[in-house]
Amino acid sequence: MMKRTKVKSLLSSPALGTEVLVKGWVRTKRGNKNILFIALNDGSTINNIQVVAEAASFDENILKDITTGACIAVKGKLIESQGQGQNIEISAAEIELYGKSDAETYPLQKKGHSMEFLREIAYFRPRTNTFSAVLRIRHAMAFAIHKYFNDKGFFYLHTPIITGSDAEGAGEMFHVTTMDLTKVPRNADNSVDYSGDFFGKPTNLTVSGQLEGELGALALGDIYTFGPTFRAENSNTPRHLAEFWMIEPEMAFYDLNDNMDLAEEFVKYLIRYALDNCSDDLDFLNNMIDKTLLDRLKFVLENQFVRITYTEAVTILTASEKKWEYKVGWGTDLQAEHERYLVEEHFKRPVILTDYPKSIKAFYMKQNDDGKTVRAMDVLFPGIGEIIGGSQREENYEKLLKRIQELKIPEKDLWWYLETRKFGTAPHSGFGLGFERLILFVTGMLNIRDVIPFPRTPKNAEF
Ligand code: 4AD
Ligand code: MG
């Protein structure tokens, strides 16, 4: 039995004159009654291998079924190509048809398709050049994230998906229950009685692994999480998903400056990794999706991120002549239009904003002495807006407890978190990188639904 070779390795180190076996899906077929040229793709690379078949050597019925989308195995000799457009090709000796693909009804015809249409056939999207490129880059970025942290001595901590707390305190949670929703038991005061539910209390899908990540950092030193997170926010935008992946490093003994240094080094490492390891896919996306993609990636690598406070940003924004859709003023949260103005027009490079008003940030952030701001940081990127959110954490027990009480967050959900501030508390910091926002930036894609295989958004959980 001959072993299958992947197209990627055939193309990168072709052993001309040898017999090879390839398996994949037909992208196109052309030719005449004597000779056929089949472009075959097996997903290992954006590039196809050309298969040349002399009609006389094959059963007519097999050749007829070799249409766009069909799956075949081809055995043949690897030779130098006579034609233009490729260096090597396979001169087919045997072809086995695994799966026909009816030319009339196959949804993925050869023509170009809109991103919206491709979302409706997300089960076939990975067979397109664009999505296979995005998915290979997505894989490379996941690998690079683990490599970066492993090389730096960080430990990968698996934080729970089902939790009893709201880490961000924003109340955007999906409930987890096994209760029969047609007969929800009630307490005397008409509130829901969870005592008979699976966990015996209200639970939800996590919005962030941070709080448990902090427990890890306060024992292991440097940790990171990398897992799915869920937000039931009704935001139908090109940058929001209800289910997205987040990377959350958490470091003992880091202050906000150390945190910013790590965030900048980390994203630059990932961009460099993509440029060094995904060049075929990036070249394709640069040609087909966004001609400025490679320049933008290199630009971010070569320039230091600007670091200013929220207060300085508000001064710049209010001084600008721009007509804002949302008003800016000290104390209001910045909207995408403001973030993008700072990055794309004012500074023309990534910006890290720090020291936001405490009223618009989460309870766990370290409070500044001014009594008004917290040691928060948001990293803002061109075309994306916020790609990272993080902070130094409040390590002082009294201050943290007071803030939790002010915000009326149930203490009984966070007692374990507060314990760390009572016993061996330490200065520490961390941040969260939205994985899909990173992939948007690295691929030049415009909609977050198109950088995750099966997007979950309001009213959409197909496949
Ligand atoms: O700013 P966020 O809400 O921060 C946290 O969750 C902190 N616990 C992080 C930490 O300090 N450990 O989210 C972090 C990042 C955002 O900057 C954004 O990139 C991404 O997660 N994000 C989303 N991505 C896609 N869809 C959504 N609905 C997102 N919400 C946040
Ligand atoms: Mg944020």
pLDDT tens digits, one per residue of 62-92: 999 999 999 999 999 999 998 888 889 999 9
Nearest CA to ligand 1 atom 29: 240
Q: In this predicted model, what pLDDT tens digit does every residue of 278-294 receive, in sequence order?
A: 999 999 999 999 999 99
Q: List phi, psi (to 5°) of 338.
A: -75, -45
DSSP E strand stretches across 349-439: 351-357, 373-381, 385-392, 428-434
Positive/negative CA dihedral, 156, 158, 164, 166: positive
Q: Give the CA count within 13 Å in the CB-facing half-sphere of 326.
A: 12
Q: Is the distance from the beta carbon of residue 231 to the nearest atom of ligand 1 less than 6 Å?
A: yes
Query: From CA 45, how far away is CA 399, in angstroms rounded?
Result: 54
What's the confidence (pLDDT) of residue 126?
Answer: 96
Contacts of 44 (CB under 8 A, 6+ apart): 6, 7, 8, 9
Q: Is the distance from the beta carbon of residue 172 to the nearest atom of ligand 1 less than 6 Å?
A: no
The proportion of the chain whose per-residue pLDDT surpasses 90, expressed as a percent, equals 93
What's the confidence (pLDDT) of residue 234?
Answer: 87
Q: List phi, psi (to 5°) of 11.
A: -75, -30
Question: What pTM, to 2 d.p., does this model score?
Answer: 0.97
Q: Is the distance from the beta carbon of residue 208 to the nearest atom of ligand 1 less than 6 Å?
A: yes
Atom of ligand 1 minimally distant from the CA of 213: 12
Looking at residues 119-141, what average pLDDT do you find? Answer: 96
Query: From CA 370, how far away is CA 150, in angstroms rounded?
Result: 38
H/E element holding 427? none
Q: Is the distance from the beta carbon of residue 212 to the nearest atom of ligand 1 less than 6 Å?
A: no
Atom of ligand 1 minimally distant from the CA of 235: 28
What's the confidence (pLDDT) of residue 171?
Answer: 78
Q: In this predicted model, what pLDDT tens digit does every residue of 145-165 receive, in sequence order?
A: 999 999 999 999 999 999 998
Query: From CA 259, how far away is CA 265, in angstroms rounded?
Result: 10
Looking at residues 348-372, what average pLDDT do you find? Answer: 97
Q: Is the distance from the beta carbon of residue 248 to the nearest atom of ligand 1 less than 6 Å?
A: yes
Round the average pLDDT of the chain to a whole number and report it: 96
Positive/negative CA dihedral, 159, 161, 165, 166: positive
Query: From CA 168, how far away is CA 163, in angstroms rounded?
Result: 12
Q: In this predicted model, what pLDDT tens digit does every residue of 221-241 receive, in sequence order?
A: 999 999 999 999 888 999 999
Query: From CA 191, how far away is CA 4, in angstroms rounded?
Result: 61
Q: Is the distance from the beta carbon of residue 145 to the nearest atom of ligand 1 less than 6 Å?
A: no
Query: From CA 210, how far away is CA 258, in angstroms rounded?
Result: 18
| 360 alpha carbon – ligand 2 mean position (Å) | 10
pLDDT band (50, 70, 90) for residue 110: confident
Contacts of 266 (CB under 8 A, 6+ apart): 148, 249, 433
Query: From CA 317, how far away is CA 382, in angstroms rounded?
Result: 17
pLDDT surpasses 80 at 111? no
